[in-house]
Structure 1
Amino acid sequence: MGSTAAGEETEPSQTAAGVELLSRTVAEISGLPEFRGPMRSSCCDLARRVRLLSPLFDELRDAVGDGSIDGVDVGALGSLLDALVSAKELLRSVSEGSKLYQALQWEEFANKFQEVAEHIEKALSDVAYDKLDMSEEVKEQIELVHSQFQRAKGRTDTPDTQLLADLSLVRNIKHSELAVLKRLSEKLQLRTINDLKKESIALHDMVIFSNGDPDERLEEMSFLLKKLKDCVVTENPNSDVPENKMRFEKLKFPVIPDDFRCPISLELMRDPVIVSTGQTYERSCIQKWLDAGHKTCPKTQQNLSHMALTPNFVLRSLIAQWCEANGVELPKKQGRCRDKRSGSSSDCDRAGVKLLLQKLENGNRDEQRAAAGELRLLAKRNADNRVCIAEAGAIPLLVKLLSSPDPRTQEHAVTALLNLSINESNKGSIVDAGAIPLMVEVLKIGSMEARENTAATLFSLSVVDENKVTIGKAGAIPPLIDLLCQGSPRGKKDAATALFNLSIYQGNKVKAVKAGIVTHLMRLLVDHSAGMVDEALAILAIISSHSEGRTAISESSPIPALVEVMRTGSPRNRENAAAVLWSLCTTDVRQLKLIKESGVEEALKDLSENGTDRAKRKAGSLLELIQQLTEA
């Protein structure tokens, strides 16, 4: 009987998780900032079509909450989620990325939008939404969106020929006409000093993501950016903050910080590496020193315990950032600076990661702390690094460091695992390495930063359904509730997100209720200064679908607070408040009498006319129940 019960919970749990993640992904796409630059039209079209799918997920979520879900293929939902996540990542990368790069690589980006459109269209074809119990209005809207994606598959947007012509002029003519630069500035929407600073940061990120081995186009973009900077400063000297112009003028010949100079050559370092004494040198310089037979550190004269050179990724990132901020040409790579055995930049980075892992495994406390910090930053940078670090065997070593007595090492380890967990295949490796019980201990006794990032990691891991069970059984829910109550504002948000996702699994709802979560959620619901009303209502709505959850909520005198949200809350909060009230009143006539006495009918009528689709249904059902009570 036990196995049957577990089996009965698996598919609804998977469906609920899938629907919630789909809704959240659409909300994240809707929350992206205004799209600008050469790909603006493609971004707006894709985002608009995705937003039109929202009613489908609202109705599916409603059906899951009502227990009436039928006809939903979990695998099809997963494929649609993959497609929408790809859309979100593309939109975010374009929104945050270099406008110059998008213009120069217009065809490449156009192909990416085509691929995403095809991915979504295929996923929608696999979802049998015509068989679902949905309103005709929603069905028509989804069919319309589907047909829009079908048409988008075979249609290629026309490039801006004027923009491409202007780029060609600026690149090929030494002294570009001001009129052309001004037109480029408008087309690329790089009109102000702040716009140009964001573009500089985007180019800097490209340097970091290329692991210090940028392609030749980066130099071209740097050249174009300098021309646009000159144009903007000349035409709009008072744009944004006045001191920006002064900063450009003052930093025309910037002084290189001492920490960025090689102690041997005294020149700006291109490829900084660390020797065993902890000192940093330019790779080619220190390599010549070692090749000459020296076994000491040039700066400290200490004996070197080994001859390995560890890439200083953090310093290299800072140097690149400083170069961009000060208009200095980015340091160019030098082949002789690389390990002669390395065939590519990827091989070189893998060698660097292996050296970091050696320090994790065999280094002293300071070396372990530094290596864990380096891996934390590397794993944050890009997807390739996350794969490389995991394949090198870092995950078991980082999991072991979760038990480190050094708080900073522990923080670095858990945050590195958080960053690695972004990669789906790494989630299983982290769990298999025994991370969850150790993370629960960090959640109980770690520093605030470690606890916050542990909560975020547990949320990331709990996206996999079977991990929800494992995390709940390991005892994570009570310390997450403690963090929800006592943490920093960020910690409370991380804890709430993890608790929400874990509570999709029925067994965890009971654990959360027994740990006293309802009392804390009700306190957060009425304490507007805490900024946790949205999270409290979302968790209450999901817990109210369980009988023990409804009982606990009923015993906390929830009606006044929920009715107040119904009257004055945001559309989403009014929806969740109505969902909680509906769950309470369908099983407990006493709660129904209480909401009737509270005078909520006017708010319900307003919600049934002006709320979200799900809120309209819940409000309508509650009005019917109140009417039946009146007539009885």
Structure 2
Amino acid sequence: MDIEKVLKCLTNSFSRFIHLAMFGASTNLPSQHDYKYVANSLKLFKRALDNIGQSCMHSDEVLCKELEELDVAVNEAREFIENWNFHMSKIYGVVQSKQLISKIQRDSIKICETVYGLIESSSSTSSTSILADIKHFMDELKNLNSETTAEKFEDALNFIKEQKVPPLELILEIIELFRLSSSQELLKESIAVEKENVIVDQPSQISYISDLVFHIRETMVNLESFKTINGVPVPAYFICPLTLQLMFDPVIVSTGQTYERDSIQKWLDNGLLRCPVTLQTLSHTNLIPNYTVKGLISNWCDKNNVKVDHPDKSTSEDQLVSNLTIENGFDRLSFQKSNHRSTEESCSHSRSGSTSTVVSSSEHLCEETASDAGVSPNDSTTFSHVKRVVTDLKSPSNETQTKAAEQIRFLAKNNMENRILIGQSGAIQPLISLLHSNQKLTQEHAVTALLNLSINGNIKSMIAESGAVEPLIYVLETGNTCAKENAAAALFSLSLLEEYRVKIGQSGAIKPLVDLLGSGTLRGKKDAATALFNLSIFHENKARIIQAGAVKYLVELMDPETQMVDKAVALLSNLASVPEGCLVIAREGGIPLLVEVVETGSQRGKENATSILLQLCLNSPKYCRLVLQEGAVPPLVALSQSGTSRAKEKAQQLLSHFRSQRENSSGRGKS
């Protein structure tokens, strides 16, 4: 083996890791302090390694192998930092971080001991300074102690392993250290841990973590029960074990446990099939209303003059789709009368004028057209009626099929019970078949019906598993304006199922979505950007989106007049996390516009634009110079003082990088 090549490869890995750990890591990265400590220690080791390759030491097979193993360990840690996101389990992240850091420690110390022995036995005149550097590095690594977070977590885990409940004081410390006191944070952590429990290779380890999270939830429920509303204690069984809030719509799962409907639905929508409290596998995923508990809560509220508001559902994935129903207009009607203008013309017309005018007109026309279809969008229906309509979907008559698809479209528009009935009636497959209809209006009704149905998490899964992805792509390529936009929104809805981000990306959806981003109406561009954003969460899709030419359109959409700045910058932020994304953003002239967003954009836009500029500057000194030439420093200084917490952090990292570049340049000039 050529030790020079191995050393060069390792020192490059060191540089990438050091830069990422010091400047590019997320603020909520587990064991962040430890990663920075390791990065600083590796700087010392890198200096020693730079000299080793030029010493008189001969190539050593054992040493080469040890260096390669350390290279793997450092790159594994770097990839973990790069891939970390706020959806992941904080607690399991600490476990993974400790394992990764310990491996770097062990491998580094082993190399130091080998090198120390080899150099001591050589007659190199430079050996004294090299040995001193290595000794210093070994001392630094041996002095590395885990963060308090990791220590407390290990203490709690030891109790779990001994089948004991951790002391209350320890659980409270962990809640504080991991910032799990918020009900939404605890729900997010519970879901993240359970998802890891499904996929991880070390079931015993994640099982212990799952048990710990259970004890944390139980503790939080007990603490909540000590709180009062209007001076009255809240009974513990009125509190959802997942949201830690007074239940509004309690439902029973197959194990007999009761939860708030929205929280347990989100749990199920993430593919989790164990009861959060009993940890037993659910025999089915039906949610049965708990009228007894709901009645008790209602009586308790009336008696104690407590007003119960519907809980905030903004964190639910299904609600994310529901929000888009308002923002993106899921049921975007053409409002076509049989003897009036074409679908495309009327669809376009319905979006003209002011926003308020369009909304009010749309609502009125929607009700009018729904009435023409024989249903009101808010009306419930019967299973037998739905079955008859589903039978009509399979009719040989185009007119009958179109009418049936239209009816299902409206029945599914606003009524949750109707969606469930339609899903259970066998409508999904016939609707998917109609996506290939030669009748554009039939195709539009079918795709919009599927989109409205996908708001329900279980039906979303049914649609995906019934092979809807390719037919939706066909509509995206061949449909009328409204159909294309709704197909894009439907693909976004399906991409909320994690495994379908991969399938949608591999099935050819990205190119037509990018085409819609470039040539669609404003509504279509927003639909396409939303779908592409969600697909870009999966790493392999980033390259596909870039290769399909999305960056050019996104840079154009950073013009404030497009009303798309925030969406464009959010998607570019994901694409900038890969080198080819940085290259194309710079090549398409994105840097001046990004600096402008940092200066004049919304809070979210400033945050994402700063993140992109940081990625660009870390990627290349050339981009760094271009960013500075655009006058980025003043708005970044302002942002570092008054932006969101993430924007402040990114702005400070970028300003620190500028200083580092200037100091390095100054140092080179002096030498």
- Highest RCO, 1 vs 2 (Cα 8 Å, sep ≥ 6): 1
Give the TM-score, by structure 2 length: 0.47
Give the TM-score, by structure 1 length: 0.50
